Amino acid sequence: MPKMIYLDGAIVPEADAKISVLDHGVLYGDGVFEGIRGYNGRIFRLDEHLDRLYESARSISMDIPIEWAEMEKAVVDTVNANGLRDCYIRLVVTRGPGDLGLDPRKCPRPTVFVIADRITLFPAELYDKGLAVMSVSTRRTAPDALSPRVKSLNYLNNIMAKILANIAGMPEVIMLNPQGYVVEGTGDNIFIIRKGKLMTPPLYLGILEGITRNAVMEIARSMDIEVAEEAFALHDVYVADECFLTGTAAEVIPVVSADGRRIGSGEPGPITKKLIRAFRDLANSTGTPI
Ligand code: PMP
């Protein structure tokens, strides 16, 4: 069965899911997207993902041509059309076709498409053993240049960091903001734990407000773990007892070393392991039915 794609109101076979070469999503990376997960026949936190999508669009002054409820239906229908129960969903809204200039006023109608597929996570053993990460010289975009809170189609900033990770043979990296505070990975949020307190960078430092990040903070609070959105530097990562990354694709994954410094015991820590289990339980038991 061919992969079925939602494109501008219709669900079509992948071979027919084509967009214009004059689409500004292609010409300029002008557009927004979401990465969403389906677990066990339910879509995890679909409302939050759709809210973030519409907010990203609003921030870049783009009117998504379909209403929220229709977008929700497009996502559910695409998953169903592919007969998937566990999946990764990519929802994309581009500025749409225009002329060769960058003026978005020349693009009368944004293009909407949804792809539902399986996901390749980090190799399973890394969830048990943990990741070694390093910091990179590529700084995360400053919020006063282009806010990292916009999940835009322009991921070159993160891709530049990923290239450095690839050169070094590292699975993921730590990105700093222009002031040198730790902000996030190339596609994940970061947490550290010190003396029982869970810390993650605040939004104003320039991060994407991760859906997984928010879920993990909720879970931690429900376990009476102290949670703080607080600025920290690489030093704090090096001396942390535990560290982990969160993201829709990565879920919750332990980090056991940073820039060659062993974090804690050098193995995934007890609080991280508890949070991984609780996150998996939550993801497998809640969400919008497919
Ligand atoms: N930061 C960046 C830069 C990302 O691309 C992602 C993945 N969308 C995240 C954080 C994690 O966000 P979420 O938990 O919503 O997937």
> What CATH code is carried by the domain that includes residue 99?
3.30.470.10
Q: Into how many domains does the chain fold?
A: 2
Query: Same structural domain for residues 144 and 105?
Result: no
Residue 121: closest CA among 245, 242, 6, 289: 245
58: its two tokens: 């609003």
End-to-end CA distance of the chain: 19
Give the pairing of strands 226-229 and 197-200: parallel
Note whether residue 57 is domain-resident: yes
Distance from residue 100's CA to the centre of ligand 1 (Å): 31
Q: What is the mean pLDDT of each run of 10 residues along the chain (290 residues)?
A: 96 98 98 97 97 98 98 98 96 98 97 93 90 98 96 97 97 97 98 98 98 98 98 98 97 98 97 97 92
110: its two tokens: 């944004």
Give me the domain span that covers residue 277: 125-283
Give the residue from 97, 117, 137 where a domain finishes.
117
Residue count (the chain): 290
Query: Same structural domain for residues 96 and 133?
Result: no
Query: 193: which strand partners?
Result: 198, 242
Distance from residue 80's CA to the centre of ligand 1 (Å): 25
Give the residue from 93, 117, 141 where a domain finishes.
117
Give the residue from 82, 117, 152 where a domain finishes.
117
Distance from residue 26's CA to the centre of ligand 1 (Å): 21
Count of CB atoms within 10 A of residue 25's CB?
Answer: 25
Query: Same structural domain for residues 96 and 67?
Result: yes
Whether residue 56 has its Cβ less than 6 Å from ligand 1: no
- Residue 242, CA distances (Å) to 112, 210, 274, 277 in order: 40, 20, 12, 16
Please name the helix (run of DSSP H) or strand (run of DSSP E) that holds residue 257, with its range, or none. strand 251-258
Note whether residue 288 is domain-resident: no
Whether residue 201 has its Cβ less than 6 Å from ligand 1: no
Cβ contacts of residue 105 below 8 Å, gap of 6+? none
The CA distance from 28 to 119, in Å, is 27
- The answer to whether 172 touches 245, Cβ cutoff 8 Å, is yes
Model's pTM, two decimal places?
Answer: 0.97
Question: What was the pLDDT predicted at 2?
Answer: 92
Note whether residue 289 is domain-resident: no
Looking at this protein, which amino acid is placed at residue 31?
Answer: G
Looking at the CA of residue 189, tell me the nearest atom of ligand 1.
Answer: 10
Question: What was the pLDDT predicted at 1?
Answer: 83
User: What DSSP line would sit under 30-70, residue for residue?
Assistant: -EEEEEEEEETTEETTHHHHHHHHHHHHHHTT---SS-HHH
77: its two tokens: 């229908």
Whether residue 187 has its Cβ less than 6 Å from ligand 1: yes
Query: Same structural domain for residues 205 and 175?
Result: yes
Count of CB atoms within 10 A of residue 8's CB?
Answer: 16
Query: Same structural domain for residues 80 and 113?
Result: yes
Query: Same structural domain for residues 165 and 211?
Result: yes
| 221-259 burial code (b ≥16 CB/10 A, e <16) | eeeebebeeeebebebbbebbbbbbbbbebbbbbbbbbe
Query: Same structural domain for residues 137 and 229?
Result: yes
Note whether residue 73 is domain-resident: yes
